[in-house]
Amino acid sequence: MDEKQKQQLWTKMKEAVIKGDNQAAVELAKEAIQLKLDLTETIEKGFVPGIRRVGQLWEEGEYFLPELISSAECMKQAMAVLQPELTKNKDSLETKARIVIGTVEGDIHDIGKNLVSSMLQANGFEIIDLGADVKLEKFIATAQEKKADFICLSALLTTTMTGQQRLIEMLKEQRLREKFKVVVGGAPVTAQWAESIGADGYGENALAAVRIIEQLTRQRREK
Amino acid sequence: MKPTQRPKLEILSPELAHQIIDEAFLLLERQGVFVENEEALELLRSGGAQVQSNGRQVCFPRRLVEESLHQAPAEIILYDQSGSRAYLVGQDEVHFNPGSAAVTILDWPRQEQRKPLTQDVVRFVCLADKLPALHFQSTGLIASDVPEEIADSYRLYLALIFSSKPVVTGTFREASFQVMKEMLEVVRGGTSSLREKPLAIFDACPSPPLKWSRLTAQSLIDSARLGIPSEIISMGMTGATSPVTLAGTLVQHVAENLSGLVIAQLAQPGAPVIFGGSPSSFDMRQGTTPMGAIETMMIDSAYAQIGKQLNLPTHAYMGLSDAKTIDAQAGLESGIGAVLAALSGINVVSGPGMLDFESCQSLEKLLIDHEICQMAYRLIEGISQRDEPLALDLFAGIRPDYQFLTMEHTRRWYREEHLFLQLVDRSTYGDWLQAGKKTLAARAHEEVEKLLREAEPCLQDEIKLKELQRIMLHEAKKFGLTSLPAFPERLD
């Protein structure tokens, strides 16, 4: 396959993600495997530019949540096809960071958390999603077991928001605070709250969450 | 004399309303709902519902739903604490009450939202008690100076001491039901008196789409057995937790409400249940749930129409706003909502005072909304025929300098035909300047302080008061409090 054909394939991949066309994205991913293309390059130059463009369209006010979440889902499905091949070839795609995410105990709301989780995954983070109503102990145990870099906590109720605070206190008590970056979010959560409980970051929406986590990941590497 | 026509809104065509109901029945029959409560599952199983092999998903045969609809009362009568004033919840009667369970209060002097303290809750309850167009009290604010575990029972405790009106409330924890029930029984004087003369409505919220959690299903069952009216609060968010089309969301809404109705009727045939909700249009940009969106209000009006068609009392969260402070948005959204609710004949309308997506209460806004409520009530009184003929006699003997101001007829009718509001500004520009160019919110703040200067506990019965305090303290001690926060000495 010559360079021009590759370019065409990448353009199709980008467009599939922008349109949120799962079927096309999955087929294109399979095609890349059949053609024995360099899959890391395929992801970097085909799919990733698609999700970046989606982010831009959101920022410009062109895209709304249904488009945003469909594109993230599309990205996930393409990655699900490519990931086993990458593993088989021992060709690991560099994950930016490993993240344990969930909605804190007592809170069954998970739409916001799912949005953040999808966007992070679409942007190349490894996600361990514990779901909703998750015991604080479980966040910590999973993060330790999986050697995670981040713990992300969602809370949609002011009554459960305090769980975010408690988790940070628990990390301190167990002398684990320095091991994980803690990022919080959810409807009642504010930057002030995040600061007052000593969280490392706060995302007011899914894209802001991606931005802050990317920034924190860079800082971590630079150290 | 011709009968007065009550202005009325019926937003759905009979054909569309019929289809929504029919699809809701089919949805219950085919997909059913998820029930995470063993007792409810057992009731449903023995009632003839099919529990699927996953043990959680329950399909409702049409016959079962129809039977429950047949058993449920079309009207509920609530009584105030004295037991003498009755409120009919049914037909096209409209009862406004403050929007409930706010987690912040808009502190007007500081111009910011903050956590409410006991003192704020007491002030709020006292103010709502004084406003005649708010027929019911609600547990509108959640005090932050007591442990979370008693947040639900503590707000009812304060409402029962500082107001005599019926209360719209609900549990946050399963265990709180018992405590809240005991307090209601103390005030009413026993279980059977409470059943005879209900004093409170308990909200029970299914989780959209189509799920009853353990807590809410339990509240439904426990309330049904005690004759405490349950208000079913379905709350789909269009395009997020329910279909994006308004009609599609209505199908889910009706199915969720009916499933709750069945659970309540199986627990106690004839149990009082209110067809209610807090659905919302989902903002596809912000991911928020605007209660002031016109589509939210259209869904409310439509499900209420269906609730009436099913012969059930109705409820909605209307007359509230998503604004963060008392501005034009706060007024316009609350005004449109209250008027549409009244025109739709919704029986229990929760909303006045609320801001910021059901999360913030404001005493000043409550007072402003109280004027809106009065206007809404006036609207649905309609235009009556007072005289026969209507006006011809009044023009007899007309001259060039003729006027109506000094006419006996004017004195006879002006107070009945026209509403006199306290806060809205109808002065001349000059007078307004001279009075200090005050905005509506600023005038409301002054009026709040004035009204609260004279407020005091409503519950005068020392024995009942002591008993309530004993129950509350006993509960509070379980969660580490040694004493309850003191009541404020002064309210202003």
CB–CB of A61 and B287 under 8 A? Answer: no
pLDDT value, residue B268: 98
Task: Please give the pLDDT value at position B449.
Answer: 94
Q: Does residue B172 belong to the interface with chain A, where contact is any CB pair within 8 Å?
A: yes
Q: How many domains does chain A have?
A: 2
- Quick check: is A93 in a domain? no
The two beta strands, B50-51 and B57-59, are antiparallel
CB contact under 8 A, A115 and B103: no
Q: Which domain holds residue B315?
A: 1-390+403-492
Residues 276-295 of B with CB under 8 A from A: 284-288
For residue B359, pLDDT over 70 is answered with yes
- Of A68, A88, A108, the one marking the end of a domain is A88
Q: Do A188 and B287 touch (CB under 8 A)?
A: no
- Helices then strands, each counted (H, E), chain A: 10, 5
Would the CB atoms of A205 and B207 count as touching at under 8 Å?
Answer: no
Q: Spell out which residues of chain B touch residue A204, defining contact as CB-CB under 8 Å.
A: none
Whether B455 shows a pLDDT value over 80: the answer reads no
Residue B268 domain flag: yes
Q: Smallest Cβ distance to A158: which of B103, B240, B285?
A: B103
CA–CA distance, B377 with B361 (Å, rounded to integer)? 22
Which chain A residue has the Cα nearest residue B147? A159
Q: How does DSSP classify residue B7?
A: P
Whole domain around residue A143: which residue ranges?
A: 98-222
Mutation target to probe the A interface, by most A beta carbons within 10 A, among B172, B285, B357 is: B285
Tell me which residue in A111, A162, A188 faces B240 most closely, judged by beta carbons. Answer: A111
Please state the φ and ψ torsions of residue B54, each to the nearest 5 degrees. Answer: -70, -5
- First-to-last alpha carbon distance for chain B, in angstroms, is 49
Beta bridge partners, B77, equal: B88
- Answer left, alpha or beta for residue B270, where phi above 0 means left and psi between -120 and 50 means alpha: left
Whether the CB-CB separation of B364 and B124 falls below 8 Å is answered with no
Would you call B172 and A64 a contact, using CB atoms and an 8 Å cutoff? no
Residues of B in contact with A158 (CB under 8 A): 103-104, 359
Do residue A84 and residue A103 come from a single domain?
A: no
**Do A149 and A198 lie in a common domain?**
yes
Q: Establish if A162 touches chain B: CB-CB under 8 angstroms.
A: yes
Q: Do A212 and A167 have their domain in common?
A: yes
Is B233:B204 a contact under the CB 8 Å cutoff? yes
- The verdict on a CB contact (< 8 Å) between A66 and B103 is no
Average pLDDT, chain B: 96
B474, pLDDT greater than 80:
yes
Taking contacts as CB-CB distances below 8 angstroms, the residues of chain B near A66 are: 239, 284
Using a CB–CB cutoff of 8 Å, tell me whether B214 touches chain A. no
Query: What is the average pLDDT value for chain A, to the nearest integer?
Result: 89
CATH code for the domain of B270 = 3.20.20.480
Query: Which chain B residues have a beta carbon less than 8 Å from that of A65?
Result: 240, 284-285, 287
Going by C-alpha positions, the residue among B352, B353, B281, B344 that lies closest to residue B315 is B344
Q: Do both A7 and A40 map to the same domain?
A: yes
> Tens digits of per-residue pLDDT, B254-284?
999 999 999 999 999 999 999 999 999 999 9
Interface touch B285/A64, C-beta < 8 Å: yes
Q: Is a pLDDT exceeding 80 seen at residue A109?
A: no
- CA pair distance B208, B212, nearest whole angstrom: 9
Considering only CB atoms, which chain A residues are within 8 Å of B284? 64-66
More confident residue, A82 or B379: B379
Instruction: Determine the pLDDT at residue A93.
Output: 62
At residue A182's C-alpha, the angle toward residues A179 and A184, to 5°, is 170
| Lowest mean per-residue pLDDT among A51-65, B95-109, B186-200, B334-348 | A51-65
Residue A42 located in a structural domain: yes
Q: What pLDDT, on a 0 to 100 scale, did the predictor assign at position B223? A: 97
Contacts of A61 in chain B (CB under 8 A): 285
Q: Could you say which DSSP state residue A46 is in?
A: I
Residue A158 touches partner B, C-beta closer than 8 Å: yes
Q: Find the closest chain A residue to B213 by CA distance.
A: A108
Q: Is the domain of A103 the same as that of A57? A: no
Query: Is residue B397 a part of any domain in this protein?
Result: no
Pairing of strands A98-103, A126-129: parallel
Instruction: Return the CATH number at A187.
Output: 3.40.50.280
CATH of residue A74's domain is: 1.10.1240.10
Across the strands, what pairs with B316?
B349
- Residues in chain A with CB shorter than 8 Å from the CB of B322 are none
Instruction: Specify the pLDDT at position A113.
Output: 87
- Please give the Cα distance from B171 to A155 (Å, whole number): 19
How far apart are the CA of B285 and the nearest CA of chain A, in angstroms?
5
Above 70 in pLDDT, residue A90?
A: no
Interface of B with A in 57-116 (CB under 8 A): 103-104
Q: Which residue of A has its CA nearest to B284?
A: A65
**Could you tell me if residue B395 is inside a domain?**
no
B481-487's contacts with Cβ under 8 Å and 24+ in sequence apart are B481/B146, B481/B147, B481/B150, B484/B146, B485/B117, B485/B118, B485/B143, B485/B145, B485/B146, B486/B118, B487/B118, B487/B122, B487/B457
Q: How far is CA A13 from CA A21, A22, A38, B371, in A?
A: 10, 10, 15, 58
Helix (H) or strand (E) holding B302: helix B294-309
Cβ neighbours of B356 in A, within 8 Å: none
- Kindly report the backbone phi and psi dihedral angles of residue B234, in degrees, each rounded to the nearest multiple of 5, phi listed first: -75, 140
Which of A37, A67, A88 corresponds to the end of one domain?
A88
Do A50 and A146 have their domain in common?
A: no
Name the residue among B162, B140, B136 with its Cα closest to residue B151.
B140
What pLDDT, on a 0 to 100 scale, did the predictor assign at position A111?
Answer: 75
Is the pLDDT at A87 greater than 80? The verdict is no
Q: Which residues of B touch A159 (CB under 8 A)?
A: 103, 142, 148, 151, 172
Rounded Cα–Cα distance for residues B217 and A137 (Å): 28
Q: Determine the pLDDT at residue B492.
A: 72
Domain assignment present for B396: no
CA distances from B492 to A177, B118, B447 (A): 46, 14, 11
Helix H segments across B72-175?
118-130, 151-162
Among A27-41, B299-313, B398-412, top mean pLDDT goes to: B299-313
Determine the residue of chain A that is closest to B207 in CA distance: A108
Minimal Cβ distance to A66: which of B103, B284, B357: B284
Residues in CB range of B229: below 8 A, 6 or more apart: B76, B78, B89, B198, B200, B201, B202, B223, B272, B273, B274, B313
Distance CA B321, CA B289 (A): 11
Mutate to test the interface with B, among A117, A159, A205, A207 (most CBs of B within 10 A): A159
Contacts with B240 from chain A: Cβ below 8 Å = 65, 111
Looking at the complex, report in whole angstroms how far the Cα of residue A39 sits from the nearest Cα belonging to chain B: 34
Q: Are A32 and A85 in contact (CB under 8 A)?
A: no
Q: CA-to-CA distance for B63 and B255, rounded, in angstroms? A: 14
Query: CB neighbours of B40 closer than 8 A, spacing ≥ 6?
Result: B212, B217, B218, B220, B221, B263
Confidence of residue B483 (pLDDT cuts 50, 70, 90): very high
* A26 and A78 part of one domain: yes
How far apart (Å, rounded) are the C-alpha atoms in residues A13 and B158? 61
Is A215 in the same domain as A109? yes
Q: Among A88, A117, A151, give the residue marking a domain's end.
A: A88
Averaged over A138-166, what is the pLDDT?
Answer: 91
Cα of A93 to nearest chain B Cα, Å: 32
A66 contacts B172? CB cut-off 8 A: no
DSSP state of B395: G
How many domains does the structure of chain B reveal?
Answer: 1
pLDDT digits (tens, 9 = 90+) for B83-140: 999 999 999 999 999 998 898 999 999 999 999 999 999 999 999 999 999 999 999 8
A131, A199: one domain: yes
pLDDT computed for residue A91 by the predictor:
62
Please indicate, yes or no, if residue B362 is contained in any of the structural domains. yes
In a domain, B175, yes or no: yes
Same domain, A48 and A149: no
CB spacing of B285 vs A159 below 8 angstroms? no
What number is the average pLDDT over the span B182-197?
Answer: 97
Q: Is residue A120 domain-shared with residue A193, that is, in the same domain?
A: yes
Give A184's strand partners: A153, A202
Task: State the residue for tokens 């530019």.
Answer: A49
Name every chain B residue with its beta carbon within 8 A of the beta carbon of A115: 287
Statement to judge: residues A50 and A109 lie in one domain: no
**Average pLDDT in the B165-187 region?**
95
A169-210 residue pLDDT tens: 999 999 999 999 999 998 778 888 999 999 999 988 888 899
- At residue A92, the pLDDT reads 61
Give the tens place of pLDDT for each residue, B51-93.
998 889 999 999 999 999 999 999 999 999 999 999 999 999 9
Touching B: A residues 119-138, CB under 8 Å:
none
B140 is a domain residue: yes
Confirm or reject contact between A196 and chain B (CB < 8 A).
no
Contact check, Cβ <8 Å, B285/A162: no
Chain A and chain B share a number of CB contacts under 8 A equal to 31
Residue with tokens 């909304």: B369
